[in-house]
A and B are shown apart, each in its own frame.
Chain A
Amino acid sequence: EIVLTQSPDFQSVTPKEKVTIACRASQSIGYALHWYQQKPNQSPKLLIRYASQSLSGVPSRFSGSGSGTDFTLTINGLEAEDAATYYCHQSSSLPHTFGQGTKLGIK
């Protein structure tokens, strides 16, 4: 089973700040890494697919990068509505697995 480790677990950030969340895979997964945002009492929402592909309807301040074992989610110019927990997910091999989550708080 591929283990995904996110860092940090929690971050408190000021609006307009740049945020980076890392996700490291225990073995190479190519580009089969996706990012989700989950707000309280909501289901996760797909933000970035295949490591760096943006999605329609997702604000352009969200971007992703990386391949192989190391990936990054970047939020350029954090907004208050971005307070949420962010998860990475690998679908390179079964069983699919998720990172433990990074909770973003707004100062």
Chain B
Amino acid sequence: QLQLQESGPGLVKPSETLSLTCTVSGTSISRTNYYWGWIRQTPGKGLEWIGNVYYTGSTNHSPSLKSRLTISVDTSKNQFSLRVTSVTAEDTAVYYCTRQLAVPGSPVEYWGQGTLVTVAS
């Protein structure tokens, strides 16, 4: 049974860097044909796609976040990670890690339980 588990600080100060890790269990992150991604949710903006990474390290990013965003994969730990620099209150959200087939047009099949990150001093 595939499981995705987000981890990281729940509170980040403005202008600092948000860092989250997703630990994958029940399958190898190196399996071909899957994108491992991040989606966030806020009451104001709803669900927002952030980006994804293939096990090779190839990534896709949201244009609105691209300049502040790093998504990476660590196959040895079966984990992938998200970094968002220079955060503001607008980055306060529940962050989900996800899995999606690496086929154009595919849905998000699996979601982690989500982790709330609050940006505040």
Contacts and interface: CB of A to CB of B under 8 A. Distances in A.
B105 A95 contact: no
Given A30-B105, A92-B105, A43 B111 contact: yes
B112 A43 contact: yes
Nearest to B107: A34
Contacts of B114: 43
A57 B63 CA distance: 35
Interface residues of B, number: 20
A49 B113 CA distance: 21
Contact of A91 (B48, B105, B111): B105
B47 interface: yes
A95 B107 contact: no
B100 to A, nearest CB: 7
A102 B12 CA distance: 31
B49 A98 contact: yes
A91 to B, nearest CB: 5
Given A45-B111, A46-B108, 16 more contacts: A43-B111, A43-B113, A43-B114, A44-B108, A44-B111, A50-B107, A89-B47, A89-B107, A89-B108, A91-B105, A91-B107, A92-B104, A95-B62, A95-B64, A98-B46, A98-B48
Interface of A: 1, 30-32, 34, 36, 43-46, 49-50, 87, 89, 91-92, 94-101
